[in-house]
Each structure stands twice: as structure tokens, then as C-alpha cells.
Structure 1
Amino acid sequence: MSLSSRRFRYYRWDGTQQIDQLDAEQILDAIADDVLADGDLTRALQRLFRWGSDRPDSPFPGMRDLLERIRERRQQELSRYNLGSVLDDLNQRLDDVIDTERQGIERRLSESRERLARQQARQRGEPPFEASGQASEIASEAEEEPYDESLHELLERMAARKQSQLDALPPDPAGRIKSLMDYEFMDPTARQKFQELLASLQQQMLQQTFQGMQQAIQSMTPEDLANLRNMLHDLNEMLEERQRGGQPDFERFMHKYGHYFGQDLKNLDELLDYLARQMAAMQSLLDSMTPEMRQQLQDALDAALQDPGIREELAQLAYNLGQLMPDNPYAQSYQFSGGEELTLSQAMRLMEHLREMQELEEQLEGVRDWRDLQRVDMDKVRELFGDQLAAEMDQLRQLTRLLEDAGYIQRTRRGYELTPRGVRKIGQKALREIFQHLKKDRFGQHQIDRTGRGGEPSDDSKPYEFGDPFLLHLPKTVMNAVYREGPGSPVRLQPDDFEVYRSELMTQSSTVLMVDMSRSMLYNGCFLAAKKVALALDSLIRSQFPRDNLYIVGFSYVATELKPSMLPHISWDEYNYGTNMQHGFMLARQLLSRHRGGNKQIIVITDGEPTAYFDGEQVRFSYPPTYQTFQETLKEVARCTREQIVINTFMLERSPYMAGFVSEMARINKGRAFFATPDHLGEYVLLDYVANKRTRLR
């Protein structure tokens, strides 16, 4: 299938799709704007960790999204099951035991009738008739045994009595269990089913308290039962002594009975916590039921414990734990609203599952950043919520490691900081975003002073003229000869056939980017756009015009030189007031004086007219700006003009003061002035810079 014939379907990101593993570049792209806006890398990483990214090219969830999905998953469990089905399952198993017994009684009667009939036929000398099924097998085995009507009548009276007992069974499960425990079964299969039911209920009662109880009571020897009663009795005595304020001998108790608990417990507090955790599943199940259902299940479980001593000790243990720990921290009631059925053992596992989900959720709610995730058991996350959520959480855990391994950030005493490579990468991103939105006709070509070195080939070609660089375009040269002479060989070239690449004159320039850092730039939402332009211009010059020189000057109350590596971390504060454009021009002129050749220019990004200037050693600030402020600033513009420095101004706001000042500045300097909104500032600045870098040579 060709690529053009394939069809693709795209869906909106909802957090459930399988995503590729994140790489460091995607993470840096996701935090770049945040770093530029705030200037603090650590805070940007923390926000990314908390909220994730919704970038179309690389979306990934944050901790908030994962927590919400965990809550939704737990709610799905509650909306899936019906706790009332636990009692329904118990009643169905009891019904099955009773039905099996009734069928067994009827089968015994049927076999007895057939046997009596065969006996009577033999006595009359009649040929025996063929019995069917199990009756035939039993008849053949007992063919020689005598069987008379009195034995059959005895069996019928017994069967009638058994049926009456079954008819008289109470309707509730606890009552039926108690009655069936005193009932002598006639059918062995029914007896086995009832014993299995009792064993299951007993296991649920004992294993909810003692993890080491793997043996059913029915299979215990009298000695095993006595040991269990003694352990429960000693445990209750130890808890009662604790209630009285004493110091029970915990080590002696564990030395004797430690195998019942399946864990290495160090003290009585750990034992209490263990018992509370073990009993939480049953307590949660009972608390989640209606009072009527709760009583029925509790009575059924009590009835299943045949040993009255064990039953009494367990009841006393529950009371003592209630006194020592009035509120079990591991037990919680749940509101179920689904229809799927559960057995008792399934319900107990579900309660444990929900408790583990809630504990993990509470642990994750306390997670502040990727460092706290190191303490989270990812295997437990995978077990409870699946591979994808665990993988996404592991991505969050590795945020900083991926960036460090890629060389984009480094850990210092002040926290995480961008490396020079990270700053360049953010600049490349800003440059890429700006050029993605460029339109072909946004700017025309601007005239420049033709001071440059050499020429660079372009993609276009032209007929060769005397004096052109001989950058031969071989395919077009050969084709010109073929068009002239027609097909055939050899191809003979003539001077008119030669075609060469057009070349563009590349200018070498030194630029100062002056960025307004006054208070209004932040209020008007221009500060982030200006920082992105500075980084993008730095990246453009480094990658495409490495011979050019770029300086960045930030100005507010005073002006200062900014290194490109400082740009992402520069943040605005309330003390940055004033627009000292005069000092900015002065500093820019000093920086450009280091270079004798090439073009020199100043690019000014500002949202207001100058409001401050140096008067000797003192800064004068005034708003609205005074005549003196304008004059001192224009004097510095005139000095730049005398040194052949072109000033291009990009205005982010329009005001009468600013329009008048910029118009006068353009008159003096012959530079250009543009009005641009913050969202298109980068396109204007970068395209104008590129357009003034080259002119086509004929």
C-alpha cells in the first residue's frame, strides 16, 4: 500500500492513549515558555510535574491528571458491584446444599423401591427386570443381600423426617447454617458441599485476623483447636493488660504464637496495627452493607464457627480492639451502585483492593514533585492501575534525570539551572516557532549599505555575464546546449550556454538588541515576547550568521548588558520602573565601538517613550516625560548616527508621546520604526534582520 493511499484517523487526547516515551527535548519544549515567563527553572519543572503538558505534538499528563484518573478508577469499582449479591451467593450455596440433599433422599427412596421390587420378584419366581443407572450398579452389588419391606418402610420414615427437617429450616442464612450443623445428611455430596461452605466461611473469619491461618477448622486436630483457643485467650489477656496501663510480655507471646501472624512484629503497637489492617477488609464490608444485610452476614459467619470457645474469644478480641482503637484507620465504608455479583471471598479481596487504592491515592496526594515519587512503589501502582498509568508516572519521576542526561540542566546550590546547551535549545525553539508563522509578503526587501564580504549562492540561476563568480549550474548549462543542438552526443558547449548560480552579498553586522524591562512591559504582556525575540535572534545569528555580533541590553531605570545565557532566568520585579533609553543607547554605542567594520545597528523593543535619563551621576525620572528627557535621549541618538549606527524601533504600544518621539528619532537617524503586537513581534524583528543581511547581485 502506498503512503498516499493510507488513511489515518486522529482523536482528541483524553489521557488513555498509548504514548511514546518522553525525551529530554520534548520536556524542555514544554517548559520553555514557562521558564521565560517566570525565570525560575525549578518552578517551571514543578508546574510541568503538577499540570503536565497539552502541547499537540507531545501531550503528557501531570500529577493532577493521574490522581484524577486514580479517583475515577476507584469510582468505577464502586459503580460495578452489588454488595447485596454476597448474601445472595451465600443463600444460593445453601439452597444448593439443601436441593442436593433432597435429590439424594429421593434417589435413596427410588433405589430402595427398585431393590424391594426385585426381591419380591425373585420370591415369586419371576425373571428379574433391568434397573437403570446407579440403581442397577447398586442392585448388582447387593443382589445376594436380603431386603424386605420393613427395611424399606424404615427408610421411608427416615426420609420423611429428613424432608420435614429441611422444610422447617429458617429462612435466614445463619439459622439454616446452625440447623444444618445439627442435621445428619443422607446424601454424601450434600454433606461435602456443606462442609466446604463452612470451611470457606471459617477461613474468611480467621484469615481476616490471622494471616498465618491456612488450615480450616474442620481439618484441625483437637490439639490444633486447643492451641488456637489458647492463643486467642492469651492475646485478649495481653490487650486487656494494655488497657489497664500495664506492660504485657509481648516477646513471650510472639515466641509462642508468632506463626499465626506471618510477619516479624517488633512490639505490641505493631501487632495492634497489624490486627487493625487485617480486620479492615471485613469491617469495611460490613460497614458498606445495610444494617439488615450486615446482621445477617455477621450471624452467618458466627454460626459457621463450630467451636464455641473460639467464637467467644474472637468476639472478645473484636471488643478489645475496639477499646484500644475506636476508629480503625484502615476501614472505610463504601457506596456501591453496580449490578455485578460477588462472592464473599471476592468481596473481601475487593475491600482490600479498594483500601490499597485509597492508601496509594493518599500517598500521591502528598507528592510535591518528582523527588517524592522516588518513594512510591511503582510495582503496586502497576498492579492496581495498570501498566500505562505506571509508565506515565515513571515519566514524571524521571523529568530532571532526562534533562540532566541530555545536558540541558544542571543541579547547583541554588537548585536546577539551564546549561548553555539548554539556553541554546530554548532559543532554537523560539526561533522555530517564530518562523513557522511567517508570511511570504510580510516585509519587502530593504535597502542596506553594501558592505560585506564575498557572496553566497542562492537557489536561482542566470546566464553567465562577464565578472560573475563562476558558480556553474551544470545541469542547466548542459540542457541549454541540448535545447540548442537537439538530442545526440557529444554535447558541444558554447559561451551562451553557461548558466551560473545567482549569488547574494552577505553583510557582516554587529547588532545591539535593546529590550525595555520597565514595569509597563509586564503589565502589557510584552516582556515574555521580548525575551523570546532575544533568544530567537541569538539562535538565528549563532546558526546562520556566525560572523555577526550580537549584544543584548536591558534597560529600565538604568541599562545593563545581558548575556544570552541570562535571558531565561531574568524575572521582572516591582522595582523595575522607568524607561532610561538614553543610558541604553549609550551602552549600546560603547559595545558597538569594539567593531570597526561591517554594519552596525540597534534594534529597540519598547512599549513606551523615555521617562528617565542620566544627569551627571544621577538618574532623573519623570512621568509624563519632560522635554529635557526627550532632548537628552535624542542627543544620544545623534551620537549613534554620527558613528553610522542605524536604529530600528519596534513599538509595542501607540501613544502620542511615543509616536512623536519615535518620529523625531527616525528623522535624526534615518532608521525605521514599526508597530507590532507582542504575538507578532518575533516575526517582524527576525524577518527584518534577515532581509537586511543580503541583497541579490546581478
Structure 2
Amino acid sequence: MTGNRFRYGAWRDGPDPLAPPYDVRAAVDEVGERVLTGESLRDVLRDLVRRGPRQGRGLDELRDRARRLRREALRRGNLDGAVTRAQQLLDQALAAERDELRRRPDDDAARFAEAVLDNLPRSTSRAVQELRSYSWASDEARQLYQQILDGLRREVVEQRFAGMKQALANGDLSGVAEMVTDLNALLAKHARGEDTADAFREFMGKHGQFFPENPRNIEELIDSLARRAAAAERLMRSLSPQQQEELARLMDEALGDGPLRGQLAELTDNLRALRPQLNWGRGERMRGPDDLGYSDATAALGEIGDLDELLDQLGQEHPGATLDDVDVEAVERQLGRGAADDVRRLRELERELTRQGWVTRDAEGLTLSPKALRRLGRTALARVFDELAGKRRGQHDLRDAGAAGDLIGSSRRWEFGDEQPLDVVRTIGNAVRRGGLALPVRLKPEDFEVAETERRASAAVALCVDLSYSMYADGRWGPMKQTALALSHLVATQFPQDSLQIIGFGKYASELSQGQLAAIDPTAEKGTNLQHALHLAARHLRKHPGSEPVVLVVTDGEPTAHLEDGESYFWWPPLPETIRATVQEVDHLTRYGATLNFFMLGEDPGLQRFVGAVAARNGGRVFSPDAEELGRYVVDDYVRARRGRS
């Protein structure tokens, strides 16, 4: 603000906080559109939360940000800084000591001390260990040597316990040792499954000053301590074997011969047993311009470990993963408030999809509910009828599509579930007689009458769809799904007296529900087992002996597989045995009175010869639509046949 002038710009920290929540129906429609184009249902549902719905940010973007932060952390510096710093301090101490000894030319003790310094091991940790009992002539050298031990001791203990700075100020480790002893006893009691609520409160009352993060229960205490301990273990695993040995010896020397060293080792074992899922043994290759000290190195590795855990949560790769698995507080801590708001919105979208009945969850993740499948089928059918209207093929006015019979001139009172058309004249007349000539005329449920019809014969319809990989490779997978879903919805809503069974066939054939069809993915398995599909179609027809039998086949290739003793045999070019077995099923259906209509996709000469021969043998028809027009042809053929059936 300058001189009471304001400048406004686009909101940059995440989604617009004033924007309305996600449109759940729009999200379902987005899923439906992509499924109808041939995409995998589970992939689309997964992408809905990973990429976010339209104009929203999803988990993938957050995951990319976490990866960038991880790469930056790996470039923060070199992990051997603790050893390097100890080496530098030792060199400075030895230089100061030699300067002091040179000022004593006639002192035999000084010459002996120089000999001791000249014969020190090249290893920093071993040199520090041998100098433990050395009598320093230089006060400066003694202080530098002590900095090696005090500094590393302080960093090691403070890294494990956040509130140790004050306790270590005077160099007295007795209070620390007592606290670690009590902590190990508390963790052992918890590991045995005993009730530790009172013991935890007693422990925090006695040693709470060491834990400024103020854990509310023992689980939070374990989480905090285990992450710190795991970071320390990862530091050791990230160093070369020589560096590991150097750092371990320096730490032992810094912690001294008291009980604390063994207690810390016991604490690490206890925490590893209680939180085995943490990355205890994973090393990292970090590079950077600076040498990181022990505390900085473990902090960087702890941050990388937290980012690894966050990346796993955002990946949603494990079976049964949900957005509830994502730690929103960790997202906000690592990626900021806007990212946490994104996760909350996506979580709310997933919950709303479930609460409103659009999706359900099974062992493999989210899938569309029957409610959503009905909406998907309605969308597919609307697309097909839009094409029918645009092509002006036949009369497809939906106003009388559900009449299911011819009008006979009489009417009756409407009852719930009636599918007959309304008798508008008698309905209005009932309302006028009930209410007089007052305007406007108000209708009540008891006024409605439906026109009685002569019931037409029902049909048993088997729709056999080719699921071979060529259907997917040639762009026919989406139109095939759309056609089957559209026909299924049409039969369910407009011709409920008909019985439709969708049968998918590849190497084997199987009966498919709407949900199974929507979720089915292509496989690279070879085989077009039309014989098995026609066998299942005949079984469906026989379940409805009073209905007119109709079989519709959608395929892009000639039969290349058949069943023998329950096993599928595939060969290309087709074996005579495959053709013979398929024709036998055609003959069975023909004798049963079923009509086979083929919808042939592509221009395979072998398929053309086969379907032509089958049509001549059965009396059915052959259509050769483009993939985009498949739904129009199939639904048009079904509606035409349905209207002509009596």
C-alpha cells in the first residue's frame, strides 16, 4: 500500500479460498466421459484424486513439490562433517601444542611429548582416544581437544532429545542417564502391552523439561523419539565403512565410560522394535558445498525421511489406500498451508462421492456404485440417441419407447411403478371434475390415469462383445463400452420386460455386469473365443424360454480360440476345429430360434467370410459400422426389432 492505493493480483497460494467446493456430479461426469472413451475405470478414479478434478490441484502436483524439496535436501552438504570437524579441531590442537612445546627447548618432557604427538595414529578417532590421558602443555590445545568431545557429546544428546541444552551446560550427564533409564523402562512396559497411561504421566512429570514438544501420550512420545533415532541410524548408513568406524569411535569417546552410552543403544533398539516401519537402514548420498555437522546432518536426513513418508502417503500405491492415510499436518509442515488445503478438499471430495453414493470401495480401491453406473449408462444412451437424431435414421422418439404394447382404447388409475403412457385427456378431466372450473387446474396423484396396452412379447437378448487386445489397439474399446452400457440402460429403463446379458469374450468368455464392464481393462492375452461366448448366450436364452431369443455380436476378428475339455485353445490363422466348434454353437442357437446379428468392426477378410457364412446359415444380418457409429447401429437395430415384435 502506497498513499492509500492498493494493488490486487491473482491468489497464488493454492486454490481460491472463496471458490465453491468441488461439484461432485461434475466429477462423476468427468469420470464417465473418460470411461466412455476407453480409459480404465480404476485409473480414472485414481487420477481424480491424483491430478484433481477440473481446475483443481491433485496429489501428483503435491508429490512433485515434495520430490523437489527432497532433491534440495540432498544437495545441502556432505554428511561426514562431524568427522571432518573433529579432524580440523584436532589439527588445530596439535599445532598449538607443538608451538608450546617448541618454546621449551631444554625440557626433556617436552621432547617426549613431541615424540608422542609424532606417533599418533592417522585415524582421527584413534588419535582422540590415545590423547585421552595426555597432559597438555598448551591451554589453547587442551580447550580445542575438549571441544571435540564436548561438541560431539552435545550434538549427539541434543539430537536425540530436543530439551537437553540446559542439562548439558555444566557437563553433568547424570540427569540425562537417569531420564534415559526411566524412558527405557517405560518403553519396555509399553512393548509388553501393559497399560502405561499412569506411567507416562509420571514420567512426563519427572522429566518433561527434556521434551519441549510436549507429547500428549506415549505414542506421540515414541513417534518423536523414533524419528530422531532413525535419522541418526540413517546417518551412519550413509557414510562409508571407514567414516562409520571413525564416527562411532568418536561418539563412544565423547559419551565416555559411563552408563549413558549403553542406555542410548538400548533406547535405539527399543524404538526400532516399536516403529519398525521407519527407514532405519536406508542410507543417502548427499552432496553440497558445506560439511554438515552431526546435528545438521541428522536434521537433513530426518527431513528426507519425513519427505519419503509423505511421498509414500501421496502416492496412494498400497492396496486399500485412501486420502485419510495422508497426514495433513505433515503436508502443511513440509509443503505449506495451501498444499494442506488441497488435501483437505480432495479428502472432502472423496468423502462426498462415497456419502452421496457415487462410489464404493473394495479391496482394490474405489469403483463406481450402481447409482453412478446408471448415470453413466444414461449418458451413453443420450449420446447414442443424439447420433440417431443427427443421422435421422428411423423414428426414435423416446416419448413412446416405453409403451411396451399397443393401445387398446381403455384406461385405468395410475399405480406406482406403471410404465404405460399417461392418458392426458382423462387425467385432466379427473382434475376438472374434482376441482370444478377454477383455474389453474391442479393435479393430484389420484387424478392420473394410464392408457392400457396389449402386452407385447418379451425378449431375451445376449450382447456378445469382443474383449481381445485388437479392440483396444485399434481404438474400439471405448465405443464398445459405450454401446454395451447404452443398451443395458435402455433395456433397464424402457424395456424392463426384456432380459439382457452382456457377455465379454477374449481367450475365454464370461458374463459381465454393468460395473464389471465399466471397470474391465484390456489385456495382451491373445484369442477370440466366440464359441464360448455363444455357448453362454445360449445358456442365457434357455433361462427365459418364453421370450424371443436375440443374439447381438460385436467383434473385429474371426474366431481364433475354442474350448476343449474346459480349456481354451488358441491358434492363428484359425484352426478348422475352432471354426467347426463355433459353427456348432451357431447351429444350436438357430435350432432354438435365435437370430444372430453381427456388428463387424474393421475390414478383416477372414471375418467378412465367416460372418457372411454365419448370416446365411442363421438368417441374421451383418452390419459394418465405423467404431464411432457402433452404438447407433446396435441400439437402432434393437429398437427397430423391439417395435416390430408382437
TM-score (norm 1): 0.47
What pairs up with 1:133-172 in 2 under 5 angstroms? Answer: 172=124
Alignment match, 1:128: none
Residue from 141, 151, 154 that aligns with 1:203: 154
The offset of 1:659, in angstroms, is 2.5
CA 1:230/1:418 → structure 2, altered by over 3 Å: closer, same or farther? Answer: closer
Structure 2 counterpart of 1:84, one-letter code? D
Alignment match, 1:339: 288
SS of match in other structure, 2:236:
helix
The offset of 1:347, in angstroms, is 0.5
Matched, 1:184 2:130: no
2:28–2:372: 8 Å Cα contact kept in structure 1?
no
Distance (Å, rounded) in 1 between the aligned partners of 2:209 and 2:81: 34
1:535–1:567: 8 Å Cα contact kept in structure 2?
yes
Distance (Å, rounded) in 2 between the aligned partners of 1:286 and 1:578: 64
Matched, 1:84 2:80: yes
Matched, 1:517 2:470: no
CA 1:435/1:77 → structure 2, altered by over 3 Å: closer, same or farther? Answer: farther
Deviations 1:622-650 (A, max 9, x none): 9425768547638x89xxxxxxxxxx974
The offset of 1:217, in angstroms, is 3.2
Distance (Å, rounded) in 2 between the aligned partners of 1:673 and 1:69: 55
Distance (Å, rounded) in 2 between the aligned partners of 1:549 and 1:339: 72
Distance (Å, rounded) in 2 between the aligned partners of 1:292 and 1:320: 24
What pairs up with 1:430-445 in 2 under 5 angstroms? Answer: none
Matched, 1:633 2:613: no
The offset of 1:397, in angstroms, is 3.9
Structure 2 portions without partners, runs of 5+: 1-13, 401-455, 504-512, 521-528, 559-580, 641-646
Residue from 194, 218, 233 that aligns with 1:283: 233
2:359–2:368: 8 Å Cα contact kept in structure 1?
yes
SS of match in other structure, 2:535:
coil
1:285–1:347: 8 Å Cα contact kept in structure 2?
yes
Matched, 1:659 2:619: no
Deviations 1:416-466 (A, max 9, x none): 764657623554267559989x9x9xx7x768899x99xxxxxxxxxxxxx
Residue from 263, 287, 291 that aligns with 1:317: 263
Structure 1 counterpart of 2:45, one-letter code? L
Distance (Å, rounded) in 2 between the aligned partners of 1:421 and 1:234: 58
Structure 1 portions without partners, runs of 5+: 1-16, 106-153, 454-509, 558-565, 592-601, 610-620, 638-647, 692-698
Alignment match, 1:401: 351
The offset of 1:401, in angstroms, is 2.7
Distance (Å, rounded) in 2 between the aligned partners of 1:555 and 1:238: 66
Distance (Å, rounded) in 2 between the aligned partners of 1:631 and 1:234: 89
CA 1:92/1:554 → structure 2, altered by over 3 Å: closer, same or farther? Answer: same
Matched, 1:624 2:601: no
Aligned residue pairs total 485
Distance (Å, rounded) in 1 between the aligned partners of 2:245 and 2:612: 85
1:382–1:390: 8 Å Cα contact kept in structure 2?
yes
SS of match in other structure, 2:290:
coil
Distance (Å, rounded) in 2 between the aligned partners of 1:449 and 1:377: 53
Which stretch of structure 1 is more off in the superposition, 70-79 or 394-403?
A: 70-79
Deviations 1:243-293 (A, max 9, x none): 9xx9999788766445435556988x9988876654433333233223433
Distance (Å, rounded) in 1 between the aligned partners of 2:82 and 2:582: 81
Alignment match, 1:533: 483
Alignment match, 2:45: 48
CA 1:274/1:382 → structure 2, altered by over 3 Å: closer, same or farther? Answer: closer
CA 1:259/1:93 → structure 2, altered by over 3 Å: closer, same or farther? Answer: same
CA 1:62/1:630 → structure 2, altered by over 3 Å: closer, same or farther? Answer: farther
Structure 1 counterpart of 2:374, one-letter code? V
Distance (Å, rounded) in 1 between the aligned partners of 2:78 and 2:469: 57
Residue from 168, 172, 177 that aligns with 1:217: 168
The offset of 1:334, in angstroms, is 0.9
The offset of 1:349, in angstroms, is 0.4
1:538–1:550: 8 Å Cα contact kept in structure 2?
no
Structure 1 counterpart of 2:262, one-letter code? Q
Distance (Å, rounded) in 1 between the aligned partners of 2:551 and 2:187: 81
Structure 2 counterpart of 1:229, one-letter code? S
Alignment match, 1:373: 323
Distance (Å, rounded) in 2 between the aligned partners of 1:272 and 1:181: 43
- Considering only aligned residues, what root-mean-square deviation do their CA atoms show, in Å? 7.1
Structure 1 counterpart of 2:612, one-letter code? A
Deviations 1:78-131 (A, max 9, x none): 46642234434555577789999999x9xxxxxxxxxxxxxxxxxxxxxxxxxx
* Percentage identity across paired residues of the two chains: 21
SS of match in other structure, 1:346:
helix
The offset of 1:380, in angstroms, is 0.8
Distance (Å, rounded) in 1 between the aligned partners of 2:186 and 2:585: 85
Structure 2 counterpart of 1:577, one-letter code? H
Distance (Å, rounded) in 2 between the aligned partners of 1:556 and 1:627: 21
1:410–1:418: 8 Å Cα contact kept in structure 2?
yes
Distance (Å, rounded) in 1 between the aligned partners of 2:186 and 2:587: 92
2:313–2:325: 8 Å Cα contact kept in structure 1?
no
CA 1:410/1:322 → structure 2, altered by over 3 Å: closer, same or farther? Answer: closer
CA 1:238/1:516 → structure 2, altered by over 3 Å: closer, same or farther? Answer: closer
Alignment match, 1:5: none
CA 1:80/1:512 → structure 2, altered by over 3 Å: closer, same or farther? Answer: farther
Residue from 500, 503, 506 that aligns with 1:554: 500
Structure 1 counterpart of 2:80, one-letter code? G
Alignment match, 1:577: 535
Alignment match, 2:299: 349
What pairs up with 1:255-266 in 2 under 5 angstroms? Answer: 256-261=206-211
Distance (Å, rounded) in 1 between the aligned partners of 2:22 and 2:381: 20
Structure 2 counterpart of 1:339, one-letter code? G
Distance (Å, rounded) in 2 between the aligned partners of 1:240 and 1:408: 51
Alignment match, 2:429: none
The offset of 1:206, in angstroms, is 1.9
Distance (Å, rounded) in 1 between the aligned partners of 2:50 and 2:230: 39
1:211–1:260: 8 Å Cα contact kept in structure 2?
yes
Matched, 1:229 2:174: yes
CA 1:259/1:673 → structure 2, altered by over 3 Å: closer, same or farther? Answer: same
Alignment match, 2:575: none
1:428–1:539: 8 Å Cα contact kept in structure 2?
no
Instruction: Find the structure with the greater CA-based Rg.
Output: 1
Distance (Å, rounded) in 2 between the aligned partners of 1:196 and 1:184: 12
The offset of 1:203, in angstroms, is 2.7
CA 1:233/1:346 → structure 2, altered by over 3 Å: closer, same or farther? Answer: closer
Structure 1 counterpart of 2:584, one-letter code? P
CA 1:361/1:89 → structure 2, altered by over 3 Å: closer, same or farther? Answer: same
CA 1:351/1:570 → structure 2, altered by over 3 Å: closer, same or farther? Answer: closer
Matched, 1:676 2:636: no
CA 1:181/1:235 → structure 2, altered by over 3 Å: closer, same or farther? Answer: farther
1:555–1:581: 8 Å Cα contact kept in structure 2?
no
1:29–1:429: 8 Å Cα contact kept in structure 2?
no
1:515–1:554: 8 Å Cα contact kept in structure 2?
yes
